[in-house]
Amino acid sequence: MPVRAQVKPGDVKNKLPASPPTSPESIDDLMQDLQNIIVPGLTQAQHPMHYGWFPANASLSSVLGDIASSGLGTVGISWESCPALTEVEQVVCDWLRQLTGLSDQWQGTIHDTASTACLTALIVAREQASDYAQNRGGLQSEPKPLIAYTTAEAHSSVTKAAMLAGYGLQNIRKVAMDPITRAMSSIALADSISNDLANGCQPAAIIASVGSTGITAIDPVAQIALIANRHKIWLHVDAAMAGSAMLLPECRHLWQGVEEADSISWNPHKWMGTILDCALFYVKQPDLLIRVMSTNPSYLRSTVDSEVVQYRDWGIPLGRRFRALKLWFHLRLDGPDAIRERLRRDLENAQWFTRQVESTPHWQILMPVNLQTICIRHQPPGLNEDALDTHTLAWVDAINQSGDAFMSPSQLEGRWMVRVSIGVESTEREHVLKLWTLIQKTASNCLSTLT
């Protein structure tokens, strides 16, 4: 299959009837349409030549767990509605806590996405900073604006979560970054907080990125945590992508200081390879989540409520899927050592690719390669900035359209570059070599058209 779906907007929809079926159809007809209409409309995220966004692996073992979860037809609305759902979730969250080197002060739950985890953290931070204003007039009656701090490198879901949690765009501070690494400057953070305090604002939350989406920037969690703790500001660590790397002891320095944070989220559904959707959310004080989000309607009560965890009180939705099963299958059938071996293979492939780019004239590695994503640009002499942008977008688009490989162009300080994110389960060194050959050939062809 081509890596990127070779369809135009509307192609899939136009092949489907506008009206719903009036009578049951045969499974054969359905499967034929699945093959002929749906599959061509998929961008092949599991293709070894997919280097876009971040890897979102669908390991077979976790797919089996997902199928089991659907097939068992469970309903997770309380411990009583499916005791195994709650207790397997407790166990697998704790397994992953241990596998990523976190201390036993953390307790976890599974959300659909890191976006939801961040929103949950920011709602609790809001309530903590406002002395639980929701029990009075809510944010509308608060005299001091609550402030959230992050950087321009943070994922778009962070700003979205802060806006949805009611902070308001004008109360989200994009703290200055180190000019080289684009990591949050702790000095700028401290200054910004002092400034807000002097102006009668209430600092409420800091969101540190460990592995930003654009360039894998790593905010200095230890330094940020010192500031957060000094001012009693909630610190949420968004390690959506880099959390997988924490299975490797040699990568854990990247989130040094994480033990001092208040919440952490990361996605096994990215690089680690538990099929979407599976985002872990850890807190030290679940009682704060419960204080803000608990509901206790009579129809959900049971005689064991005082003895069990009710995950509905730890987050936003009531009903939950048995997501823990896919982690349980994944960890048991593949085993952590095989997962670690694959992650290390990808890190080595990223280093190999980096060396090829560095040693080739007119090619540049633009940012430090902290994990498995490499930011590159072809910079032949004689092109001004606008022409360079045109050239960058031309060669990456030519590759993406060909279906031979897929990468995500992205902007760095307003100028286009290309992210090569290595880490699909099926990607081996031979594929990375093929990509590098393809990139050089395509960029050279595009250049001759441009000049």
Both structure tokens of 336 = 């952590």
- What's the rounded Cα separation, in Å, for the pair 392 and 374? 15
Measured from the CB atom, is 202 or 212 closer to ligand PLP? 212
Size of residue set near ligand PLP by CB under 6 A: 15
Interface map 275-314 toward ligand PLP (x if CB under 6 A): ----x-----------------------------------
Q: What kind and span of H or E run contains 14?
A: helix 11-14
Residue 446 identity: C
Q: Which residue stretch of 113-121, 280-288, 391-399, 416-424 sits at the interface with ligand PLP (rule: CB under 6 A)? A: 113-121
Q: Which of 213, 372, 421, 442 binds ligand PLP (CB under 6 A)?
A: 213
Window of 89-97, 111-119, 396-404, 442-450 that interacts with ligand PLP by CB under 6 A: 111-119
H or E stretch covering 417: strand 415-421
69 sits near ligand PLP (criterion: CB under 6 A): no
Beta bridge partners of 362: none
Q: Which is nearer to ligand PLP, 65 or 211 (CB)?
A: 211
**How far, in Å, CA of 3 to CA of 308, rounded?**
46
Contacts (CB under 6 A) with ligand PLP, residues 334-373 = none
Minimum CB–partner distance for residue 280 and ligand PLP (Å)? 10
The per-residue DSSP string of 139-180 comes to GGG-SSPEEEEE-TTS-HHHHHHHHHTT--GGGEEE--B-TT
Site map (CB under 6 A) of ligand PLP, residues 233-262, x = contact = -----x-xx---------------------
- Give the nearer residue to ligand PLP in terms of CB position, either 279 or 292: 279
Instruction: Give the residue from 273, 316, 224 showing the smallest Cα distance to 427.
Output: 273
Can you say whether residue 394 is alpha, beta or left, with left for phi > 0 and alpha for psi between -120 and 50 degrees? alpha
**Which of 59/130 has CB closer to ligand PLP?**
59
Radius of gyration in angstroms for the set of CA atoms belonging to the chain, rounded to a whole number: 24
Of 14-22, 206-214, 403-411, 418-426, which part binds ligand PLP (CB under 6 A)?
A: 206-214
Stretch that binds ligand PLP, among 109-117, 119-127, 250-258, 370-378 (CB under 6 A): 109-117
Tokens representing residue 92 in the block? 């697998």
Strands 373-378 and 363-365: antiparallel
| Span from 31-39, 112-120, 121-129, 318-326 in contact with ligand PLP (CB under 6 A) | 112-120
Separation of alpha carbons 438 and 50, rounded Å: 13
Q: Which is nearer to ligand PLP, 126 or 419 (CB)?
A: 419
Query: How far is 359 from 74, CA to CA, in rounded Å?
Result: 55
Which of 54, 281, 311, 395 is close enough to bind ligand PLP by CB under 6 A?
A: 54
Strand partners, 320: 76
Comparison of 315 and 446: residue with beta carbon closer to ligand PLP: 315
What distance in Å separates the CA atoms of residue 198 and residue 2, rounded to the nearest whole number?
A: 57
Nearer of residues 187 and 316 to ligand PLP, judged by Cβ: 316
Is 207 a binder of ligand PLP (CB under 6 A)?
no
Examine residue 155 and tell whether it contacts ligand PLP (CB under 6 A).
yes
Peptide bond into 277 cis (omega under 30): yes
Closest separation in Å from C-beta 116 to ligand PLP: 7
Asked if residue 119 binds ligand PLP (CB under 6 A), the reply is: no
Output the six-digit token pair for 41. 């409309």
DSSP 22: S
Site track 3-42 with ligand PLP (rule: CB under 6 A), x = hit: ----------------------------------------
Q: Is the bond preceding residue 262 a cis peptide, omega within 30 degrees? A: no
Binding site for ligand PLP (CB under 6 A): 54, 113-115, 155, 157, 209, 211-213, 238, 240-241, 267, 279
